[in-house]
Amino acid sequence: MDEKKFSIDMREILSGEVGKLYKYKLSGHLSSEDEIKYISPVIVKLDIVNIDKTINAKGNIETEIELICSRCGRGFNRHIDLQFERIFEEDLDADDVLSSDGIVDFEPIVREEIILSLPIQILCKKNCRGLLR
Ligand SMILES: [Zn+2]
């Protein structure tokens, strides 16, 4: 099993030219978690720039997930296509800490961004009337 499919080694970028753009495309399957079922591979495109000891990552996440409607309990598919931006710093108080090995695993970030993109109440359609009896 390839567990590191969403990891990027930032050491080369950190020791490289400030402001240089590095492009990455990562993809792989994610196991289902947090009531989200991933039904197609997750594709993550990243634009990464070293801004003087911090790493700025702008990304795009694309995949297809299956959700459960909170009103009628039916499963339905949703296409995910979202943008995100993260700044990794060596400062331990930062939101996204750049660990000393320079490896950033984007998998938990991808999962978090997908969850954040979902509405609080998950409905299969706006006017879902629930289970009709
Ligand atoms: Zn529904």
Distance 67 CA to ligand 1 centre (A): 10
Q: Which one, of 51, 61, 50, lies nearest residue 10 by Cα?
A: 50
Question: What is the 71 CA–ligand 1 centroid distance (Å)?
Answer: 5
Q: What is the 129 CA–ligand 1 centroid distance (Å)?
A: 7
pLDDT for position 88: 94
Judged by DSSP in three states, 112 sits in: helix
Cα separation, 41 vs 29, whole angstroms: 5
Let me know: does 39 contact 64? Beta carbons within 8 Å: yes
Tokens of 82: 């979202």
pLDDT at 2: 52
Return per-residue pLDDT of the chain as tens, 133 residues.
Answer: 456 789 999 998 998 899 999 999 999 999 998 789 999 999 999 999 999 889 999 999 999 999 999 999 999 999 999 999 999 998 888 888 888 888 999 999 999 999 999 999 999 999 999 877 5
DSSP letter assigned to residue 22 = E
- Domain boundaries in the chain? 7-117
